[in-house]
Structure 1
Amino acid sequence: MNLSRLQELFQSRELLYFLTWRDVKIRYKQTLLGATWAVLQPLITMVVFTVFFGRLANIPTGGMPGPIFYYLALLPWTFFAAGITNAGNSLITNTDLLTKVYFPRAILPASTILAGLVDLAIASALMGVLLPWYGVTPDLEAFAWPLAILVLIILTLGAGMLIAAVNVMYRDVKYALPFVVQLLLFVSPVIYPTEKIPDGYRWLMLINPLSGIIETSRSAIVPGRAIDWQHFGISALIACVVFFVGSTYFYRVQRRFADLV
């Protein structure tokens, strides 16, 4: 993404704000609980994981309270899963905009991901209750949590732009995407800690950028767990590569979007 494209996006910032706010309002329009759903989804999933994987399956949590272990992983995971799904379908669901008026096409996947940040912020607020309840007091390493979220946003935006562009070209993507999202849940350390992965399979964790983001999210909040900066650095590098590849491909094929949708 070169300077001229960044300037174009900046000039269209009001449209980006409008579409982001539209996505937020549509998401909770005519719902009984409203924005509470942003908390309920990771919260209920946390309870299910704690009962079935923590207590029944006895999967270790690295010495952390089970609910904290799962919730700190579900926050970035839920944002990423929803982000690439919504961004991947953003061009298809906005056909009228694409065919009637010109604007920077990248605004569509970007707005859905920014709307997801609202959900992430609401869900993160629950940590203000969970952490004191389980006697967890973050230390100075908590500064790494915003860094992990920043890398998460870069990764989600890059992957979302790539999937959105490919989805316009090949409609098979909308059928394959839910399966890929489910698969990523099990190859990412959401249910288990990375230290329990056998040495022969550690490379799978290294090439999965979500693993470094999730583990850094846990280590930053829970004291006594050293942050693996090398692992996080690899995840950040891969996230930047994904963003570069995704944005480059998106801008390369965007001229064909109006004809294909």
Structure 2
Amino acid sequence: MADGPGAGQPEGWPPAKPPRWPQPAGQSIGGASPQQPPSKKRRGRRFLWGCSGAAVFLIALIVIIAVASSGGNKASPPASPGSLSPTSGSTEQIKPAKAAPTPIPPIKLSGTGQQATSRFTVAEGLAVFRSTCSACKTNFIVTLLDSSGQTKDLLVNAIGTYNGSKGVGMSAGSYRLTIQADSAWTITITQPRHQAAVSLPHTYSGKGDRIVGPFTANHAATLRGTHRGKANFIVTVLDAKGDLQNLPFNQVGNFNGSTVTQMISGGPYYLNVTADGTWTLKLSKP
């Protein structure tokens, strides 16, 4: 073997150096990345991402709070039209108005001359008897009888033609009429209920027998009356049931006077007038 460098070394020594492959930028040979300070551009991006994340979290928190608040104030379902007040919009239910009572149908009787009518039935309370005899020349008398045939009231006692009315307080039951006349006659029986009453002051006027009303008063009223006639001028006060309350006037012939009439029961009230001439009745507060 020859002396000199490489003497005594095996063949192929020194080993050949590995080839140098191109390396990616910023990476050293051997795979280790050099430690370099982060650039200002990367620090800016990290700051923006941090701010964005905080903003997203804040928005999500606001949305959650809003949803929770709206859940406690859920809108009520629309109310039915009948449950709302037409003026205030309140959800308080309006009680349905009570239906008006059915009017009692009138009872109509007719005949000629002296008659006893068939029986008829009335309800308890006020009944109004309207009688006419347009061609009578002598007595025209109408008497009300109860179910046993006893006289309940004298409705008409006139001579000659007649057209008038009278109110009577009735018990529920069966009744009939006896009529004395010399011509054709008609009688209509009505039973007024829940009539609208006028307030005081108020004036009524008419001719002959009449029932007028109803009117309201607080158990008393000033009554001024006039009458132009020759026979009785009698005024009585009835309550809504037809019960007698007072007799303010009981005169004969012409009359002009006043009084304070007192009533026992509550109103409304009616006035029964018996007269043969024209009359006026002025009611006012006492």
TM more than 0.5: no
Q: Which has the larger radius of gyration?
A: 2
TM range (shorter): under 0.3
> Which structure: greater strand fraction?
2
Higher relative contact order (CA 8 A, sep 6+): 1
| TM, length-normalised to structure 1 | 0.23
| TM, length-normalised to structure 2 | 0.22
> Which structure: greater helix fraction?
1
